[in-house]
Amino acid sequence: MGALGEALTAGINVVPFTWAASPAATEREIVVVDWLGKALHLPKSLLFEGGGVTLLGTSSEAILCVLVAARDRKLAEVGEGRRVGHLVVYCSDQTHFAFRKAAHVAGIGNENSCAIPAGSQDMYALPPAMLEATMKADAEAGMTPLFLCASIGTAATTAVDSIHELCAVASPHGVWVHVDAAYAGSALICPVFRHLVNGVEDVDSLSMNPHKWLLSNNDCCALWLKQPSALVAALGTDDDVILKDTAATADDGMLVDYKDWQISLTRRFRALKVWLVLRGYGTDGLRDVVRAHVRMAAAFQDMVGADARFEVVAPRVFSLVCFRLRRPTMTTTLPEDNELNRRLLAEVNATGEGPYMSCAVVGGAYVLRFAVGSTLTEERHVRDAWKVVQEHATLILASSMQNMHA
Ligand SMILES: *Cc1c(COP(=O)(O)O)cnc(C)c1O
């Protein structure tokens, strides 16, 4: 469906930068992102009727755009004499690097970008008490807390930050709260995951990539936000060169000109492929896809748990399992242990027809990451993948024992 949508989009090749440039594509985008928001159980305040909805290329873009909107809104609010150098942004040390990059592009330096440590005791979620203490200290030191990037599904372990608690901390400071749900946002289509975004009514914006786990082809990032006027104030442009609808200008801007919501002028008709995916699979069909992937990942996790040589490193929430070989002996050091796991991943990935896994370093430990996300994956692939891991583990552990005794 997604690929067909891409083909049609290429064929039609409209450029919906203003409503007038392509009313159909603009309206389709509004309708489709609204449908998707409803399917993901997002509140009215983030949908079209209470806020604003759009499709961008990537989460990195979405985060940058809302950060710039928040920055300009805050600077206008706090008034003369306050500069970007007074603003502080917050995330956890598990937050995707896209946020650090966005802050950098938005002119907020490393010294004003605060990454709160989120360790295994917090299941790698941002600890609200730490955020509270940090924001308070910053405010007392004369700084202005600006922005919090919370995550539903961090990149390394898919940790879930507590939106409700974090908003309670951030709101008194007038901080813009964004939720980066690039990968795991898709899971919100299943009611069992809805509780993970409790408190989402209080956030200012949320973005997720249907191209990661919701069967829409690259590139596709949906963004919902409470106050699109902040985005337009920061990124809007006025130039006679641009085709505008006179009715739109007369009609106090009720029509959406998406060029004012993003960095570039030119944009693609991404809504068509999302429309096809939503109409083709339906909410129920997409739920089935997500459920099947989560079930297969859970099965993989059980297989890891049943082999005493391995450990599951972080609790699995969605369809990603983080695991590693345990230290083979009491005297094995962490660097040696990491080296064994690195070798294991390299050998698993080198198997011609075998699985392909990725890695992360979590709390100093090198972990392997097994993710299910393709419509072609079946249970037998998961079982086979685990067999490949076990076989290579046996060989690697045997040779490391030999070396130790040599
Ligand atoms: C993939 C991912 C990103 C980056 O997404 P892009 O669309 O490639 O910019 C950001 N955050 C999280 C949590 C991700 O999983």
Identify the pLDDT of residue 62: 98
Name beta bridge partners: 144. Answer: 87
Question: What distance in Å separates the CA atoms of residue 366 and residue 374, rounded to the nearest whole number?
Answer: 25
Domain boundaries, the chain: 2-281, 307-405
Q: What is the pLDDT along the chain (406 residues), one digit of tens a residue?
A: 889 999 999 999 999 999 999 999 999 999 999 999 999 999 999 999 999 999 999 999 999 999 999 999 999 999 877 899 999 999 999 999 999 999 999 999 999 999 999 999 999 999 999 999 999 999 999 999 999 999 999 999 999 999 999 999 999 999 999 999 999 999 999 999 999 999 999 999 999 999 999 999 999 999 999 999 999 999 998 876 666 665 555 455 568 999 999 999 999 999 999 999 999 999 999 999 999 999 999 999 999 999 999 999 998 999 999 999 998 888 888 999 999 999 999 999 999 888 999 999 998 999 999 999 998 999 999 999 999 999 999 999 988 877 766 6
Q: Whose CA is nearest to atom 1 of ligand 1?
A: 182
> Residue 387 Cα, ligand 1 centroid: separation in angstroms?
30
Positive or negative: CA dihedral 39, 45, 46, 52? positive
- Please give the span between the terminal C-alpha atoms of the chain, in angstroms, as a whole number: 57
Task: Count CB-CB contacts under 10 A for residue 11.
Answer: 7
Helical residues (DSSP H) of 79-215, grouped into ranges: 97-105, 128-140, 163-170, 210-213
pTM comes to 0.94
- What local confidence, expressed as pLDDT, does residue 282 receive? 96
Residue nearest ligand 1's atom 8 by CA = 58
- Say if ligand 1 is within 6 A of residue 98 CB: yes
Q: Which residue, judged by its Cα, is nearest atom 2 of ligand 1? A: 182
Residue 253 is predicted with a pLDDT of 55
Mention every residue, 6+ apart, whose C-beta is less than 8 A from residue 200: 42, 43, 46, 163, 179, 206
SS3 at position 95: coil
CA 275 to chain centre: 21
| Backbone torsion region of residue 35, taken as left when φ is above 0, otherwise alpha when ψ lies between -120 and 50, otherwise beta | alpha
Q: 2-281: what CATH class?
A: alpha beta
- Is the Cβ atom of 270 under 6 angstroms away from ligand 1? no
209 ligand 1 Cβ < 6 A: yes
pLDDT of residue 247: 55
The pLDDT score that the predictor gives to residue 330 is 82
The predicted pLDDT at position 47 comes to: 96
Decide: residue 307, CB within 10 A, 0-12 exposed, 13-18 middle, 19+ buried: middle
CATH of domain 307-405: 3.90.1150.10
How close is the Cα of 218 to the center of ligand 1, in Å? 12
Q: Coil, strand or helix: which one is 204?
A: coil
Cα 62 to ligand 1 centroid, rounded to whole Å: 10
The two domains 2-281 and 307-405 share their CATH topology (first three levels equal): no
Residue 343 tokens read as 């070798």
- Cα separation, 154 vs 133, in Å, equals 23
